[in-house]
Amino acid sequence: MPHPEVLPYSAPKNAPDHRTDSLLERWFELGNRGTTVRIEVFAGTTTFMAAAYLAVVIPGILASGGMDLAAVTTSTIVMFFAGTLGMALYANLPFVVGPGIGGAAIVATTRSHSGRAFSFCC
């Protein structure tokens, strides 16, 4: 969904004094990017709220292609966790990483259409 407004990238004007920075603030460079732990908690929760439906929808799509729903639900959530954690620790960016609806649809319908095992596709 496109949003017209672009938030300005705040310069580290009111960045906290670096000697008193907590470990979190130093590791993630919160001050440099003009943000605080509280903002990040709220933002992380917001992103989760927005993306959580995928933890329901993706397994549903994959199950329609013949995968086991319970198992693939667990898999999907674990992958959301691992991918997003990787983005946090390696790239230090506020991106949620998980399976896209499009790719899941390709796999599921290809599988149900061709009658082959789902596994070939990747």
> Under rule CB under 8 A, which residues in 1-60 are in contact with another protein?
1-3, 6-10, 24, 28-30, 33-35, 37, 39-60
Is there binding between residue 106 and another protein (CB under 8 A)? yes
How far is 112 from 65, CA to CA, in rounded Å? 5
Least distance in angstroms from the C-beta of 19 to another protein? 20
Phi, psi (5° rounding) for residue 15? Answer: -65, 140
Phi, psi (5° rounding) for residue 101? Answer: -60, -40
Measured from the CB atom, the residue of 19 and 93 that comes closer to another protein is 93
- Contacts of residue 37, defined as CB under 8 A and 6 or more positions apart, other chains included, come to 22, 24, 25, 30
Measured from the CB atom, the residue of 16 and 71 that comes closer to another protein is 71
Measured from the CB atom, the residue of 20 and 121 that comes closer to another protein is 121
